[in-house]
A and B are shown apart, each in its own frame.
Chain A
C-alpha cells in the first residue's frame, strides 16, 4: 500500500498557527541578542581583534606578565581547595540533618545557620574574619596567637568555604533525602556494618550530588571577586580581582577583556561538565518503588559524635562571626575605642540612603522583569518544540554560567558606545541582574512544569480556551509557587551580588554592596558592618514578605512549596 504524502499545509508558518508563541519567541531572541550575545561578542572582539585584525596579542600580553599567570593558577588552586573543603563540610552538615537523630530544634538551627551566608552579601564573612583574625583581631588576641596573617590564600579559602558550603549542603541534603531508606535497611539486614553501609550504599548513591556540588563550588569560587579583593592583598592574586584592578585602576579595557577570557574558559568547562552530569540519569531516580516512608538507619556511633562535634564548632563559629559584625556596627572604632554608639547607623541612613533606595529599586525592577522572562522562557523551552530550542536553553543560562566579572566587563565593553549606549544607566544594572539571575527562576519554572501533566492544558484547549487564556488561567496558577520561589532568589541576588555590577555602578546609580566594599577598602570596618547589617535585615524582611505572599496565594492549592536553594552563586 502506498503511504499518502503528507499534505503541505502541515508546515504552516508559526506566525499564523500560534501568533502568541511567535511574538514571545521574537521578543526573547531579541533580548538575548542585545543583552547576552552583543556584550559577549564585544568582549571576544576586544580580546582578539587589534585594529580590526585577528590577533593573540592581547592574550600574549597578559600571559607574559608573571603576575597574571600567578593569578590564573591562584584562581584554579583556590577554586579546587574551596570546592573540596566546602563539599566536605556540606556533606557533614547534610549527614547531620538527614541521617542522625539529633534533636529537631538542633537540626532547624543547623539549617538556619546555613541560610545566613546564602542571604548575606558575599563578603560578609571576609569582613568578620578580618575583624576576628585580622590585624588586632579579637580571636587572635583572645587565643594569644601572633604572627598570623589572614591576608592571602588561607584567609580567602576559609572565607569562601564558609560562604559557599551552604550550597553544597543544599545540593547534597536534597539527594540524601530522596534516597530510599529501605536501601539502608537492606544493607544492614544483609549483614553489612554501619560503616560498610555508609561506604557501599550511602556515599556511592550520593555521588551525583557530590559531583554537582564540587562543580558548583568550583564555579562560585572561580567567579568570586569580593573575598579576594578584601583578603587577598598582593600576596595572592586571582583573575577576577586582577581584571577589576586593571579596568578600574588602569583603565585597560583590552587587558581586562583578555584576563576575563582566561577566566571564561575554565568557567565554561565547569558549565559543560555540570550539564553533562545533570543530564545523565542519576541512580537515585530509579530507586524506591512506592517509597516506604521508613526512617534512615543510624550512622556509626563514632561518626555521629564526630559529625556533631564538627557541626557544633561550625555553628558556633558562624554565629560568632555574625555577632562580631553586629557588635562591630555599634562600637566607635573597631578594637580601638569600644564605646557603644549609633553613629554608624546614623551615617548609613544619612549618607547611604541613596544607595539603599537605588538598591531596592533595582532589585525590585529586576525581580519583576526577571520573573516574567523566566516564566516565558521556562514555558516555551519546556512545553514547546521548535528549531533552536536547545540553543535558547543554553543561551539563557550563559550569563549565569559565566563569572560575574566576565559579564560585568562584557557589559561595559558592549554598551559604552552607540548604537546602544547604556553606561551609567539604570537599564544596564537591571539588565545585568536580570539576565544573570533569572536562571534560578527558569529552572524552578521548568522543574515545576515537568511535574504538571500537559493533559491539563490540553483539557483547557479542548474546552475551547485559547492558547493565551490557557496559559494565564491554567498554567500560571499551577506554576505560581515555582515562580515565587525563583523570585525570592532573584531578589536576594539582586540585593547582595556584586561581581558583575561593580563595573556598572556610577554616580547616578549606586548599590549597597559597593558602599560596603568602599567602606572596607577605606578600613571603615564599623561602617561596613552597619551597612551589612542593614542589608541583611532588608533581605530578611523582604524575603519574609514574599514568603507570606506566596503562602497566601497558594493557600488554596495545598501544595507544599519545595524551596530548592539549589544554586546561589556570587
Chain B
C-alpha cells in the first residue's frame, strides 16, 4: 500500500465496489429474510478492509456475493470498474479463504496449492516453482506430500492461505479464517496474513466477528448490523467515535445510561447522568440537542479510572463499591456500584504498580467526559 501510494499521488485505484447490494432470501411459507440491505462500499488497491458485525448480520452473505457464489437480489458489484454480477466465481479471480479451510481432502498439500494454477493450465514446471515458493514463504516445506488430514490446524490454515495466495489474486476474500484456531495460533496466523498481504501487495476483504481481530490489523473497518452497513472508517475512528449505540456496544462494550440535558452551550452540552453532572463536547453528540432532552450516553469502560478512595485524579469523580471483579490477563474487569446503578470498568493490569481491588472495597471513579458519546433516543 505504501509503495503504490508513493508512486502515484492520485487517489489509490478502486478495485472493488458494491452499489446498493441487497440480498433477500425467500423462505417458503415463512416470508423473507433480508440478509443484506442496500450495502455500498469500495475497497482500494492494497487495502486491508475488515467487515465486522454480530452473528447473522450478513457478513458472509456480502462476501459470498462478492465471490460470486450468491447472486444479489438487487444492486451491482464492480471489480476493477467492470460489472461482474453475471460472472460465476470461476471467472472472477478473487479466491476465498474459508472458515473451514475447505482443503480438498483427497489431494496432497502440493496438489491443493497447485489446484488453481493447474486450472489455469500453467506448465508443470511453473506450477512446481510457484508452489515451492509459497511453501517456503508460509513455512510449509516438508508437508507437500501429506494429505490435509495429516496436518495440524495451523498448517491446514496456512495451506488454505497458500492455495489462494499462489494465484496472486487482485483481491483475496477471507471468511472468518481464524475462528477454528485457538487464541495463540489466531494471533500468529493473523500476523502471517498481514505480513503476506504486505509482501505481495494484495488487497484483502476480511470478515470476522471478533472485535480484537477487526481493530488489530486493518486499514479500514466496516461495521454491519441486521444486513446494513452502520459505520466505516479506520479502526481508531470507529473505536473512539462510534456512530450509533450499536457500534459503541459492539466495538467497545460501552456502558449506557440516560442523560438529561441541563443546558446546551456553544461547544459543550451539560448533562446529568445518575445525578452526576458532566460537560460533554457538542461534537460527541450525534445531533444538536435541546434543553430538557433525554439522551443516551455511552461510556467506554476503558476510559474510567479507578483509584483507592481518597486519591484525587481529577474533578469528574464519584465513589463506588466493587461488586464483582474478573481477572482477564492484560486487564481487570470490574463491576462497580455507584448511586443506584452499576458500571463496567476495564482497568489495565500493570504489573507491580497496581493493587487489585477486592470485592466490597470502596473506590473512587474518575470519568473522562470528552470521551462520552451522546445519542438521540429513537423509538
Contact of A190 among B101, B105, B119, B148 (CB under 8 A): B119
Q: List 24 A-B contacts (CB under 8 A).
A: A182-B98, A183-B104, A185-B67, A185-B69, A186-B102, A188-B88, A188-B89, A188-B90, A189-B69, A189-B89, A190-B119, A190-B164, A191-B93, A191-B95, A192-B115, A192-B119, A194-B88, A194-B90, A204-B106, A286-B105, A288-B100, A289-B101, A292-B99, A294-B69
A193 and B90 within 8 A (CB) = yes
Count: A-B pairs, CB below 8 Å: 92
Shortest Cβ-Cβ A-B pairs, 6 listed: A190-B116, A186-B102, A182-B102, A188-B89, A192-B119, A286-B149
B180 and A191 within 8 A (CB) = no
A190 and B100 within 8 A (CB) = no
- Give bound CA distance, A515 to B93, whole Å: 65
A187 and B115 within 8 A (CB) = yes
- B128 CB to closest chain A CB (Å) equals 17
- Give bound CA distance, A286 to B67, whole Å: 25
If A180-B100, A183-B104 touch, whether A191 touches B149 (CB-CB below 8 Å) is: no
Q: Is A425 engaged at the interface, CB distance under 8 Å to the other chain? A: no
Shortest Cβ distance from A179 into B: residue: B105
- A185-B102, A188-B69 given. 12 additional CB < 8 A pairs? A182-B100, A183-B102, A183-B104, A185-B89, A188-B88, A189-B92, A191-B95, A200-B115, A287-B105, A291-B100, A294-B69, A297-B89
Contact of B163 among A190, A194, A292 (CB under 8 A): A190
Q: Which of A190, A287, A288, A289 has the most chain B CB atoms inside 10 A of its CB?
A: A190
Q: Is B18 engaged at the interface, CB distance under 8 Å to the other chain? A: no
- A522 CB to closest chain B CB (Å) equals 52
Residues on A with C-beta less than 8 A from B115 are: 187, 190, 192, 200
Residues on B with C-beta less than 8 A from A191 are: 90, 93, 95, 116, 119-120, 167
Q: Is A556 engaged at the interface, CB distance under 8 Å to the other chain? A: no
A277-306: which have CB < 8 Å to B?
Answer: 283-284, 286-292, 294, 297
If A191-B116, A205-B106 touch, whether A186 touches B69 (CB-CB below 8 Å) is: no
- Give bound CA distance, A408 to B64, whole Å: 58
User: 1/0 contact trace for A235-248 toward B, CB 8 Å?
Assistant: 00000000000000
B106 and A186 within 8 A (CB) = no
Task: Using CB atoms and an 8 Å cutoff, list the residues of chain B in contact with chain A.
Answer: 60, 64, 67-69, 88-90, 92-96, 98-106, 115-116, 119-120, 148-149, 163-164, 167, 173, 180
A205 and B100 within 8 A (CB) = no
Residues on A with C-beta less than 8 A from B60 are: 292
If A183-B104, A189-B67, A192-B90 touch, whether A292 touches B98 (CB-CB below 8 Å) is: yes
Task: Using CB atoms and an 8 Å cutoff, list the residues of chain A in contact with chain B.
Answer: 180, 182-183, 185-194, 196-197, 200-201, 204-205, 283-284, 286-292, 294, 297
- Give bound CA distance, A200 to B115, whole Å: 9
Shortest Cβ distance from A289 into B: residue: B100
Shortest Cβ distance from B89 into A: residue: A188
Residues on B with C-beta less than 8 A from A289 are: 99-101, 180
A186 and B96 within 8 A (CB) = yes
A189 and B180 within 8 A (CB) = no
- B110 CB to closest chain A CB (Å) equals 14
Residues on B with C-beta less than 8 A from A194 are: 88, 90
Residues on A with C-beta less than 8 A from B104 are: 183, 186-187, 200-201
- Give bound CA distance, A204 to B149, whole Å: 16
Shortest Cβ distance from A185 into B: residue: B69
B180 and A290 within 8 A (CB) = yes
Shortest Cβ distance from A286 into B: residue: B149
Shortest Cβ distance from A207 into B: residue: B106
B96 and A196 within 8 A (CB) = no
- Give bound CA distance, A192 to B91, whole Å: 9
- A201 CB to closest chain B CB (Å) equals 6
- B267 CB to closest chain A CB (Å) equals 50
Residues on A with C-beta less than 8 A from B99 are: 289-290, 292
B100 and A189 within 8 A (CB) = no
Shortest Cβ distance from B91 into A: residue: A191
Shortest Cβ distance from A182 into B: residue: B102
Shortest Cβ distance from B153 into A: residue: A289
Residues on B with C-beta less than 8 A from A201 are: 104
A189 and B95 within 8 A (CB) = yes
Residues on B with C-beta less than 8 A from A190 are: 95, 115-116, 119, 163-164, 167
- A233 CB to closest chain B CB (Å) equals 46
Residues on B with C-beta less than 8 A from A205 are: 105-106
- Give bound CA distance, A191 to B68, whole Å: 12
- B307 CB to closest chain A CB (Å) equals 45
Residues on A with C-beta less than 8 A from B148 are: 286
Residues on A with C-beta less than 8 A from B163 are: 186, 190
Residues on A with C-beta less than 8 A from B119 are: 187, 190-193, 196
A189 and B105 within 8 A (CB) = no
